[in-house]
A and B are shown apart, each in its own frame.
Chain A
Amino acid sequence: MATFALTRRALIAGAALVIAIPRLRAPRAAPAATPAAATPAPSLISLQINGHERRLAVEPRTTLLDALREQLDLTGTKKGCDRGACGACTVHVDGRRVNACLTLAMRVQGRAITTIEGLAQGDDLHPVQAAFIRHDAFQCGYCTPGQIMSAAAFLAEGHDADPATIREWMSGNICRCGAYPHIVDAVRDVAISRAANGAG
């Protein structure tokens, strides 16, 4: 993830540099700023999302988040900050939680991507989704897909599920409505029932 972030920022910074050199007060006849150099043509890629192959044309700078939301109509993954600070865009890539806003779409070809739309099995909600409803672990709902994707990964990662550990590991997802205590209750509830069922 750190690598993706670095790549994207470097790319953007590089693009700005290319443009900044010509004086911007140059007469209009010389849009020789050759901005096209900074915007390579889109290329066709294939992504494995929620068990389905999706083909789309993206520019190298297109993030996974924007590809999902703007090109694939998978709007359950939310854009809160677009800078990796809020967690609203959390998805799973090969089972790991990842900020889709810091992930370039081109870099996750061939990887198994799961979004909130792919978490339930048909009409059967994932246990974390059901627990969020039961515990009222959200209000406006905008951060909720990211919270649930983080919580599902947290549980799959096999951490202790005591409240202090849950709070710490769920602190990468901001909820401005302040549902945090109920999020802890929901995650803990699923962990306890899994332990009781021997599912670890």
Chain B
Amino acid sequence: MGIIGAPIARVDGRAKVTGRARYAAEAAVPGAVHAVLVQSTIAAGVVLAVETAAAEGMPGVLAILTPQNAPRLADVRPQAQLVPNPTLQDATVAYNGQTIAVVVAETLQQAEAAAAHVRARYRADEAITEMGDDLADAYVPKNFRNGMRKPDSARGDADAAFNAAPVQISATYTTPVEHHNPMEPHATIARWDGDRLTVWTATQYVSGARATLARLLGIDAGNVRVICPFTGGGFGCKGTTWPPAVLAAMAARSVNRPVKLVLDRRQMYTSNGFRPRTLQKLRLGATPDGQIVSLRHDGFTQMSLGDFGEFAEPVGLASEMLYAVPNAAVTHRLVAVNQGLPTYMRAPGEASGSFALESAIDEMAAALNMDPLDLRLRNYAESDPHENRPFSSKALRECYRAGAEAFGWAQRPLAPRCLRDGDVLVGWGMATALYPINRSAAQATLRMGADGRVFVRSGTQEIGGGTYTTMAQVTAEALGVPVGQVTAQLGDSAWPHAPVSGGSQTSASVLNAVVAAADALRARLAALAGLDARQVQLAAGTLVGPDGTRLRIDVLLARHGLDTIEATAESVPGDEKQRFSLHSFGAHFVEVQVDPAIGRIRIARHVGAFDTGRVLNARTARSQAIGGIIYGYGMALLEKTEVDAETGRYVNANLSDYLVPVNADVPDIVTIFVEKPDRNANPLGVKGLGELPTVGVAAAVANAVYHATGRRVRDLPIRVEDVLA
């Protein structure tokens, strides 16, 4: 194993354990004042007036922005990846919790106190507060996957094949609104210096924040700088630049002071998206020996009635290609309600879609009296049946095998309610994980000094995946220097462009750019030495020529009067998407223990096996895998944002009532990486890891609960009342 792949400790670890890592709200910006949001208390209607007099008279208050007085933005048309509203541009209210005012005061306490005394008068209209079972008004997404995919697809004749199939499964699965809840609330500090805007903001996309702010504020992107050295978790809700960041910049311009705007936890439920509620109808038809001949997946997902843009949760894409089914039909529909705009949340589409698909497969296995793993292997897709293309690589069979062996799956009794530990029912369940391999254009700069120190820079983000560390590792290996000599820098829009830290694409995008920059740097060094770039290597501070002669780089630089040498390169996707179906894969094996007397469900054991291509750092990769699995536990057993049907207000918008997994909820987790570098996907052979491990967890848990209790739970999260005796 070289430096790439080695379980190197995080290079930013010391900063994170000592409290020195500074997140957006913690930038030292002298003179910053505080902004606090005021949000609507009705779900639909119009703000007739925002009563600010009482608040304006309170100590320290500098300004209150309302729909009446807020600065007008330059361009508020919704676009892909751009959520321009609500930014106080009009008085319409489309959901409960929509921002209707911003209070700016000298201190945080003053701003919070004043915000509590802002009142609004409304004309309340009738609201549709929840997506229920009535799907009459469902509609086809207008811009599904930004126009890159069709909302409906079909091959063969799914309905005819279903009707003719001897064994049929037809079931409806529902998943609730869930909120990302990164531990760092969204935060922005905005400072104007004349026409130039500097923004420290909690984001998964510094370049995207720059573009959005420039567009909405009507200024040149070159006059906007976005800084974010550490992001305290995002999981999708910091991928898009949401209105609070824009409001902070507007407020800073209004009071002519730097403004800090930090959402409180309650506002984290109403200000930056969520995973939408889904209702999914699955129909499977099979022959008695387990050949699935028909698959139909009709997905209905929640959208907003507000004019904020469109987000369609792609719940059915996995169903299109996971199994070698000859007749398949998939549809996506939206149901608009008076809630905010949903957004990407860890494995958007795959996480909720796989709950339905992989539960239905388990139901079919039970109907066939067949082992669920055997049924999956019986219908294994050797190539992508939807795109009619080979996979760039697919080691799912190896994941099944390795995971099953580590778990002891072969000992599983076929029938439910067969395993017990005293009064506790024990069940074993499994499910498949998959996620697309994404990659976008990215740039990186490398600078090497005569002292051997190397700086690697890219305008990417560190959201917890370990990007500082993997950037340093890839640089060290490519330039033949120790990791300790490399300093990675990121989180600044002034640096070479990198894409959003979303879609599990950071390694495939940014690190391939680092490799390209290393190639460019080696070529520059070779040119200085008068050698052919293709024939030289870098090792231990030397340039190694084709005949093995070594030339010290410091000597070479000095000969040319240089202190440092630098190279920037861009790495862009090739034609791999046209040639291959690009996916990572995995398998979850779970043991649950259910106490039917009190309805307690505990996850007792978990084995996750993943085909994620090349592993860049064995230590941080395991962290991502267990973290993704635990995110899935929340989805399976705990998380649901409860909506009050009358008011459309979230009633559990806090971390006491919206339950997320804590340490006591989590068992020992075994992770296995079936490591096969995928050079068809990209030069480094990485497939992406941030989202894959979450996919399939909810289904694996539900399948295990079925195996323990004989009860099939089709509505997440699985709760006490679902399993009580």
Question: What is the interface of chain A, defined by CB distance below 8 A to chain B?
Answer: 15-16, 19, 22, 24-28, 31, 33, 35-36, 38-39, 59, 61-62, 66, 69-70, 73-83, 85-86, 88, 115-117, 119-120, 125, 129-130, 132-134, 136, 138-145, 148, 163, 166-168, 170-184
Can you list 13 residue pairs at the A/B interface with Cβ under 8 Å? A38-B113, A74-B19, A83-B655, A86-B183, A86-B655, A141-B12, A141-B232, A142-B230, A168-B664, A174-B662, A176-B233, A178-B628, A184-B663
Chain B 644-678 near chain A by CB (<8 Å), digits 1 or 0: 00000000001110001111111011000000000
Q: Is the CB of A83 within 8 A of B654?
A: yes
Please report the total number of B residues contacting A with Cβ < 8 Å.
78
Q: How far is the CB of A117 from chain B (nearest CB, A)?
A: 5
Q: Is the CB of B57 within 8 A of A33?
A: yes
> 8 shortest A-B CB distances, which residue pairs?
A76-B19, A142-B232, A178-B630, A139-B464, A141-B16, A31-B57, A140-B464, A178-B627
Q: How far is the CB of A32 from chain B (nearest CB, A)?
A: 9
Stretch at the interface among B96-104, B114-122, B530-538: B114-122
A46–B120 Cα gap in the complex (Å)? 40
Known A-B contacts A39-B59, A125-B14; A78 and B184 likewise in contact (beta carbons under 8 Å):
yes
Q: Is the CB of A179 within 8 A of B626?
A: yes
Interface residue B244 (Cβ < 8 Å from any Cβ of A): no
Interface of A is mostly: loop
Q: How far is the CB of A103 from chain B (nearest CB, A)?
A: 15
In B217-256, the 8 Å CB interface with A consists of 230-233, 235
Q: Is the CB of B18 within 8 A of A76?
A: yes
Q: Is the CB of B465 within 8 A of A176?
A: no
Known A-B contacts A75-B26, A178-B629, A180-B661; A70 and B107 likewise in contact (beta carbons under 8 Å):
yes
For A115, give the chain B residue with the smallest CB separation: B19
Known A-B contacts A140-B184, A141-B21, A177-B464; A70 and B108 likewise in contact (beta carbons under 8 Å):
yes
For B623, give the chain A residue with the smallest CB separation: A136
A116–B14 Cα gap in the complex (Å)? 12
Q: How far is the CB of B632 from chain A (nearest CB, A)?
A: 9
Q: Is the CB of A25 within 8 A of B265?
A: no
A136–B119 Cα gap in the complex (Å)? 47
A36–B59 Cα gap in the complex (Å)? 7
A125–B626 Cα gap in the complex (Å)? 26
A31–B110 Cα gap in the complex (Å)? 16
Q: Is the CB of B183 within 8 A of A80?
A: yes
Contacts of A88 in B (CB 8 A): 183
Q: Is the CB of A31 within 8 A of B10?
A: no
For B9, give the chain A residue with the smallest CB separation: A133
Known A-B contacts A75-B26, A142-B232; A125 and B113 likewise in contact (beta carbons under 8 Å):
no
Q: Is the CB of B668 within 8 A of A76?
A: no
Contacts of B663 in A (CB 8 A): 166-168, 170-171, 173, 175, 180, 183-184
Contacts of B110 in A (CB 8 A): 39
Q: A24-B54, A133-B9, A140-B464 are in contact. List 4 more A-B contacts (CB 8 A).
A: A66-B109, A75-B19, A80-B185, A141-B232
For A186, give the chain B residue with the smallest CB separation: B17
A12–B624 Cα gap in the complex (Å)? 40
A159–B44 Cα gap in the complex (Å)? 53
For A69, give the chain B residue with the smallest CB separation: B26
For A75, give the chain B residue with the smallest CB separation: B26
| Cβ-Cβ contact count across A and B, 8 Å cutoff | 225
A138–B283 Cα gap in the complex (Å)? 41
Q: How far is the CB of B549 from chain A (nearest CB, A)?
A: 40
Q: Is the CB of A140 within 8 A of B230?
A: yes
Q: Is the CB of A141 within 8 A of B654?
A: no
Q: Is the CB of A117 within 8 A of B18?
A: yes
Interface residue B23 (Cβ < 8 Å from any Cβ of A): yes
Interface residue B466 (Cβ < 8 Å from any Cβ of A): yes
Contacts of B265 in A (CB 8 A): 80-83, 85
A73–B53 Cα gap in the complex (Å)? 33
Contacts of A181 in B (CB 8 A): 626, 666, 668-669
Q: Is the CB of A116 within 8 A of B19?
A: yes
For B184, give the chain A residue with the smallest CB separation: A142
Q: Is the CB of B233 within 8 A of A83?
A: no
Q: How far is the CB of B80 from chain A (nearest CB, A)?
A: 26
Interface residue B56 (Cβ < 8 Å from any Cβ of A): yes
Q: Is the CB of B654 within 8 A of A81?
A: yes
In B135-187, the 8 Å CB interface with A consists of 180-185
A14–B181 Cα gap in the complex (Å)? 30
Interface residue B725 (Cβ < 8 Å from any Cβ of A): no
Of the residues B119, B183, B622, B630, contact of A142 by C-beta under 8 Å? B183
Interface residue B289 (Cβ < 8 Å from any Cβ of A): no
Contacts of B12 in A (CB 8 A): 141
A111–B107 Cα gap in the complex (Å)? 25
Known A-B contacts A179-B627, A181-B626; A85 and B20 likewise in contact (beta carbons under 8 Å):
no
Contacts of A59 in B (CB 8 A): 107, 109
Of the residues A27, A62, A116, A138, contact of B18 by C-beta under 8 Å? A116
Known A-B contacts A35-B117, A78-B184, A136-B619; A142 and B23 likewise in contact (beta carbons under 8 Å):
yes
A132–B619 Cα gap in the complex (Å)? 12
Q: Is the CB of B18 within 8 A of A139?
A: no
Q: Is the CB of A179 within 8 A of B623?
A: yes
Q: Is the CB of B117 within 8 A of A24?
A: yes
Contacts of A138 in B (CB 8 A): 13, 16-17, 464
Q: How far is the CB of B274 from chain A (nearest CB, A)?
A: 14
Known A-B contacts A39-B58, A66-B108, A86-B655; A140 and B18 likewise in contact (beta carbons under 8 Å):
no
Known A-B contacts A140-B183, A148-B17; A35 and B58 likewise in contact (beta carbons under 8 Å):
yes
A180–B603 Cα gap in the complex (Å)? 14
For A119, give the chain B residue with the smallest CB separation: B18
Q: Is the CB of B183 within 8 A of A174?
A: yes
Of the residues A31, A142, A145, contact of B233 by C-beta under 8 Å? A142
Q: Is the CB of B19 within 8 A of A145?
A: yes
Interface residue B387 (Cβ < 8 Å from any Cβ of A): no
Interface residue B451 (Cβ < 8 Å from any Cβ of A): no
A138–B16 Cα gap in the complex (Å)? 9
Contacts of B14 in A (CB 8 A): 125, 133
Q: Is the CB of B620 within 8 A of A136?
A: yes
Contacts of A177 in B (CB 8 A): 183, 233, 464, 623, 627
Q: Is the CB of B660 within 8 A of A176?
A: yes
Known A-B contacts A140-B233, A141-B232; A180 and B182 likewise in contact (beta carbons under 8 Å):
no
Q: How far is the CB of B422 from chain A (nearest CB, A)?
A: 17
A151–B427 Cα gap in the complex (Å)? 33
A177–B689 Cα gap in the complex (Å)? 13
Contacts of A143 in B (CB 8 A): 183
Which of B55, B626, B660, B663 has the largest number of chain A CB atoms within 10 A? B663
Known A-B contacts A36-B59, A80-B655, A178-B626; A15 and B113 likewise in contact (beta carbons under 8 Å):
yes
Known A-B contacts A39-B110, A176-B660; A167 and B121 likewise in contact (beta carbons under 8 Å):
no
Q: Is the CB of B57 within 8 A of A78?
A: no
Known A-B contacts A28-B53, A35-B57, A73-B28; A139 and B623 likewise in contact (beta carbons under 8 Å):
yes
Q: Is the CB of A140 within 8 A of B19?
A: no
Contacts of B624 in A (CB 8 A): 139
Q: Is the CB of A182 within 8 A of B182?
A: no
Contacts of B17 in A (CB 8 A): 116, 125, 129-130, 132-133, 138, 141, 144-145, 148
Q: Is the CB of A180 within 8 A of B184?
A: no
Contacts of B54 in A (CB 8 A): 19, 22, 24, 26, 31, 33, 35
For A134, give the chain B residue with the smallest CB separation: B9
Q: Is the CB of B117 within 8 A of A176?
A: no
Q: How far is the CB of B663 from chain A (nearest CB, A)?
A: 4
Contacts of A148 in B (CB 8 A): 17
For A85, give the chain B residue with the smallest CB separation: B655
A116–B17 Cα gap in the complex (Å)? 8
